[in-house]
Amino acid sequence: MSSSSRLSTVLLGVFSNPNPNQHSTPIVPTHQHQHTNERNISLVQEKKKKQKAFSRREAIGLGFSLALLDALAQANSTAIAAEEAQCTLTIAPSGLAFCDRVVGTGAEATKGQLIKAHYVGMLENGKVFDSSYSRGKPLTFRVGVGEVIKGWDQGILGGEGVPPMLAGGKRTLKLPPQLGYGLRGAGCKGGSCIIPPDSVLLFDVEFIGKA
């Protein structure tokens, strides 16, 4: 037998038999070898099925978790929108309109005190012209001494029918032009103004407390 034939015979699991009158003796009986291969293939297939099933369960679990988080976020947004919709503005004799969305539990500010407040400023059409939240830093100023527009001093300190804000509170203010930037407007350049003259302004103010 040539060397190539002998190699093929060994690879097939059969010893070369020098006596041609005797049958070759396989290393492993053919039917047993076949059953072993079938069992191994079956085990591999079963393992793959289990891995796919586990991956599918993981995907379903992740999908459920994401759906739950999305539902909670939507519910929270709905609750906030409902809260804002129920916030009815009260108009003070000065013309300042206010509405407490959250009543604070801390101390009220005193005239001349250095305080911190977050805010979002909007035109009457809802266009945002400024926001301390987007800058990531609250505004620090002395309240009641003219460092900010009149509507802010009155809206935070109170007076003329407006109750003072308490630290931790959130209030919506609607300022008529005379309590805002009046006829001059603000941020004007080249005939264009960020806040046009004679504008009614809306502010969502969060009184953090003293600085």
Give the active site residues. 119, 129-130, 149, 181, 203
Q: How far apart are CA 37 and CA 103, in angstroms?
A: 76
Helix ranges (H only) for 15-172 are 30-85, 132-135, 150-157
Beta bridge partners of 26: 14
Q: Among residues 43, 15, 14, 45, which one has the least CA distance to residue 30? A: 14
Q: How far apart are CA 192 and CA 10, in angstroms?
A: 93
Q: How far apart are CA 5 and CA 48, in angstroms?
A: 38
How far from each other are the two terminal CA atoms of the chain, in whole angstroms?
A: 99
Do residues 136 and 186 make contact, with C-beta atoms less than 8 angstroms apart?
no
Residues 6+ apart with CB under 8 A from 73: none
